[in-house]
């Protein structure tokens, strides 16, 4: 069995994403790469992020992808005109520029099909992988799609996760703080190192967690 890596919140930083996967992780076909959502918006090359994912899949790398809140903004924008404005205000103009289109309805269908097909979470042996987290105030937190994409604070109930700790993104965190939390003392960690926030010195990195070894790989934003 190969290594398992988790990456979240790439946000259009395609060069940084490729550098991390190819040169830092040196991903091979025995490995599994879990991507926890927010591939698009804010950064300069959302199309390039998707294209690299598609290339990895075409070349038979084992890549499993989850939905983030920014993918959900796009889905809602395709359904409701007023939500398209919200999508654009959340970094969507950069996404349209990367595709060379004027509206989200002009994004090529293969990208939309990929986004609509994204799951909300993945369970592996000891961990739950998810974009944001779960609403543990509910008897069944898996019924709350909104919280899975958007929640920012949670007290993990291991009885409701089957004893699994949670690996998630969504909450930008300086990578030294991520490293301090790798003991899962609170039963969850955010691996969102705020790659797209190049103007914030403490962020501006893309992180990959090697799940078995609890080793963190870091790539500074080069986009």
Q: Look up the pTM and report it.
A: 0.97
Structural domain count, the chain: 1
CATH code for position 68: 3.60.21.10
The percent of residues in the chain predicted with pLDDT above 70, rounded, is 100
Q: Residues near 75 by Cβ (< 8 Å), separated by ≥ 6?
A: 115, 116
Q: pLDDT averaged over the chain?
A: 97
User: Which of these, 223, 218, 176, lies nearest to 197 by C-alpha position?
Assistant: 223
The span from the CA of 104 to the CA of 191, in Å, is 28
pLDDT at 10 over 90: yes
Q: Which range marks the domain in which residue 80 is found?
A: 4-220
Q: Tell me if 32 sits within 8 A of 4, measured CB to CB.
A: yes
Please tell me the predicted confidence (pLDDT) of residue 128.
98
Confidence bin at 166 (pLDDT 50/70/90): very high
pLDDT at 1 over 80: no
Please tell me the predicted confidence (pLDDT) of residue 201.
84
Cα 206 to the center of its chain, rounded Å? 10
CA angle 97, 100, 104 (to 5 degrees): 75
Confidence bin at 63 (pLDDT 50/70/90): very high
């Amino acid at each position: 069995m190969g290594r398992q890596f988790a990456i979240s919140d790439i946000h259009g930083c395609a060069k940084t994403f490729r550098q991390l996967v190819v040169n830092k992780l040196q991903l091979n076909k025995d490995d599994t790469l879990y991507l926890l959502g927010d591939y698009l918006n804010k950064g300069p090359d959302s199309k390039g992020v998707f294209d690299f994912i598609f290339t990895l899949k075409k070349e038979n790398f084992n890549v499993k992808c989850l939905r983030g809140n920014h993918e959900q903004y796009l889905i809602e924008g395709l359904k409701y005109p007023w939500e398209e404005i919200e999508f654009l205000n959340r970094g969507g103009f950069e996404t349209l520029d990367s595709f060379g289109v004027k509206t989200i309805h002009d994004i090529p269908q293969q990208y939309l099909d990929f986004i609509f097909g994204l799951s909300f979470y993945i369970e592996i042996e000891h961990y739950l992988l998810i974009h944001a987290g779960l609403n543990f105030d509910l008897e069944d937190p898996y019924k709350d799609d909104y919280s899975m994409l958007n929640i920012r604070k949670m007290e993990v109930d291991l009885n409701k996760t089957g004893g699994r700790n949670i690996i998630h993104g969504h909450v930008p965190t300086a990578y030294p703080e991520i490293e301090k939390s790798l003991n899962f003392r609170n039963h969850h960690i955010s691996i969102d190192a705020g790659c797209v926030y190049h103007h914030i010195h403490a962020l501006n990195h893309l992180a990959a967690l090697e799940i078995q070894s609890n080793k963190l790989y870091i790539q500074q934003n080069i986009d």
